[in-house]
Amino acid sequence: MLIIPILALMISVVILGGGNVATHLFKALNKSKESSVIQWYNRDLDRIKPYANTVPITDDLNLLVQADVYILAVNDDAIAKLSSELPFEDRLVVHTSGSVSIYDLDKKHKRGVLYPLQSFSKDSKIDFANVPICIETVDKKSYPLLKTLAVSMGSPTKRINSDQRKVLHLAAVFVNNFTNQLYRIGHEITESEGAEFDLLKPLILETAKKIQDISPFQAQTGPAKRNDKKTIKKHLKILENKQHQDIYELLTQSIQNTHGR
Amino acid sequence: MLIIPILALMISVVILGGGNVATHLFKALNKSKESSVIQWYNRDLDRIKPYANTVPITDDLNLLVQADVYILAVNDDAIAKLSSELPFEDRLVVHTSGSVSIYDLDKKHKRGVLYPLQSFSKDSKIDFANVPICIETVDKKSYPLLKTLAVSMGSPTKRINSDQRKVLHLAAVFVNNFTNQLYRIGHEITESEGAEFDLLKPLILETAKKIQDISPFQAQTGPAKRNDKKTIKKHLKILENKQHQDIYELLTQSIQNTHGR
Ligand SMILES: NC(=O)c1ccc[n+]([C@@H]2O[C@H](COP(=O)([O-])OP(=O)(O)OC[C@H]3O[C@@H](n4cnc5c(N)ncnc54)[C@H](OP(=O)(O)O)[C@@H]3O)[C@@H](O)[C@H]2O)c1
Ligand SMILES: NC(=O)c1ccc[n+]([C@@H]2O[C@H](COP(=O)([O-])OP(=O)(O)OC[C@H]3O[C@@H](n4cnc5c(N)ncnc54)[C@H](OP(=O)(O)O)[C@@H]3O)[C@@H](O)[C@H]2O)c1
């Protein structure tokens, strides 16, 4: 019997980079039936060697094979140079950054961006159903393939423009990095009195869950919104760290501006 | 056949107040097998009338029955006065506030606090397994009963002192109210370019989930932690609102102080 593999409809992918995003993308694309990672490049081969049984790996750009799309999941600063070093042209090359311009990719390529709006770290498991993929392309023709690729990982997708990607990345800093710093301050404040930060964890989760259904505007409560001056004064007195006081005052003002106090 | 109800071991409770906390406490205590709400008071009877089939209700302090514990789930400002108006003494009376002193309760009572460290709103369902109850008492003897009561709702409990309750309440403002305002700013920033806030919701949830297992210190990522000056500058340029710029700068500095930049 002759077995003819039906690969014609599969999207072939080469991944470049061996970090967090590259590794999670590899795993998600490798599972998908509509796409196939046919090669994985990293300048440091050791980092991707654990996967050498599963996929051809290389550290030599001159050995890159032909593919439908090349995903550059490397440091923001490395994207421009790496894209210009690729020894081919007129193929679809995308990066995964929220903040790098699509035009930083060498113009000899068809250019695109697959920006996964999620926080990746090496050890944590990621379900791509919870990773919205924001898609941008220079020419319209490249869009359907990138959309199919994202959908093949089970991700929600959204076509966006450069300005939208910029503000999404900026907003992500507010809701991820800055929010996490507020958790950190909560940690410092509680531990200063020997209280347990663990007690705050259910509240932190509930706060994030609440805005899945109602807007942050509707969800707001607390002394700032109520303009409860007595409590605000008490709180500022407890805070010993000047910077924590400044953050308390600034965010209290921000809430009061939002809610017309 | 004679049926003798075994009520001896049940903790009898009178709830005072008809708002968010009172209503959620009523439902949780009413379900529990170790406690029984034997009366519900509110100054405005209409608010608790929907429950009149389930529990005796009253708006007259002089008609309050004898109980093991009286829970004052009323506005912070009303606690002191209401406790002094109670027409009895030497019984266990507690409030549910994070910020009101235990000594604001009239000293004719045995005094305590049951502070539920969660954000309640009328319509949302609350699983008391996700509501840590922080317990404080003036005299030690009152503690076991309050602990049993909290456990009977399925809540984790923690014995704390006044200073710890103060900092927990303050930390709750940071991780709940202030975090929610960062979500709000994320909302404003994205919508300013017609991008969808919805795209940020999985990231918001992931950010809260991450610190259930690792510390906020370990969880931090992003341009501030990396001291990525180019991205920070770009972001400040995109922000049109001066207050948002101030918040960006202050929280960036705070992250950099935490991570020794
Ligand atoms: N992490 C996230 O949560 C996240 C989310 C959305 C988007 N992104 C974007 O995804 C991209 C990758 O981020 P990441 O978190 O995966 O970074 P990462 O874990 O630090 O990995 C970066 C990878 O880039 C490689 N690299 C760095 N400089 C290079 C160069 N000059 N030439 C070739 N390769 C180079 C590194 O190679 P070595 O292995 O040899 O060091 C490494 O494998 C970035 O554009 C980032 O903005 C990240
Ligand atoms: N909401 C939360 O997320 C939360 C979390 C932890 C702790 N707490 C604490 O729980 C307590 C109750 O908060 P809540 O959110 O349930 O408030 P709420 O929904 O505003 O309800 C307050 C209740 O107090 C009653 N009340 C107000 N002034 C009164 C007075 N002078 N005499 C008698 N009753 C009076 C009100 O009566 P009417 O019905 O007649 O207006 C109302 O039923 C507060 O100490 C609060 O700090 C709240």
pLDDT tens digits, one per residue of B71-104 = 999 999 999 999 999 999 999 999 999 999 999 9
Convert the pLDDT of each residue in A109-158 to its tens digit: 999 999 999 999 877 889 999 999 999 999 999 999 999 999 999 999 99
What is the pTM assigned to this prediction?
A: 0.94
Question: In this structure, are residues A13 and A37 in contact, taking their beta carbons and an 8 Å threshold?
Answer: yes
Q: Nearest residue on chain A to B207, judged by CA atoms?
A: A176
Spatial separation of the C-alpha atoms in residues B57 and B20, rounded to whole Å: 17
DSSP state of A76: G
Distance from first CA to last CA of chain B, Å, rounded? Answer: 78
Name the residue facing B177 among A132, A158, A222 (closest C-beta): A222
Name the residue facing A207 among B170, B176, B200 (closest C-beta): B176
Nearest-atom number in ligand 2 for the CA of B118 is: 5
Taking the domains of chain A in order of start, what are their residue ranges?
Answer: 11-160, 166-258
Spatial separation of the C-alpha atoms in residues B137 and B143, rounded to whole Å: 6
Sorted by sequence, the CB contacts under 8 Å of residue B215 that are 6+ apart come out as: A187
Convert the pLDDT of each residue in A44-85 to its tens digit: 999 999 999 999 999 999 999 999 999 999 999 999 999 999
Convert the pLDDT of each residue in B197-238 to its tens digit: 999 999 999 999 999 999 999 999 999 999 999 999 999 999
Q: Which of residues 190-219 of A touch B (CB under 8 A)?
A: 190, 192-197, 199-212, 215-217, 219
Nearest-atom number in ligand 1 for the CA of A117 is: 6
- The reply to whether A166-258 shares the fold of A11-160 is no
Between A and B, how many CB-CB pairs are < 8 A?
A: 295
The distance of A180 to chain B (nearest Cα, Å) reads 6
Mean pLDDT within A211-219? 96
| ipTM (interface predicted TM) | 0.94
* Token pair in block for residue B212: 């259930």
Convert the pLDDT of each residue in A2-40 to its tens digit: 555 544 579 999 999 999 999 999 999 999 999 999 999
The distance of A80 to chain B (nearest Cα, Å) reads 15
Report the half-sphere exposure of B113 (CA within 13 A, side-chain side).
29
Fold (CATH) for A11-160: Rossmann fold (3.40.50)
For domain B166-258, which architecture applies? Orthogonal Bundle (1.10)
pLDDT at A85: 98
In 3D space, the residue among A107, A32, A35, A45 whose CA is nearest the CA of residue A69 turns out to be A35
Q: For residue B219, which ligand has an atom nearest its CA?
A: 1
Place of tokens 């608790």: B48
* Token pair in block for residue B139: 């005299």
Chain B contact for A80 (CB, 8 A cutoff)? no
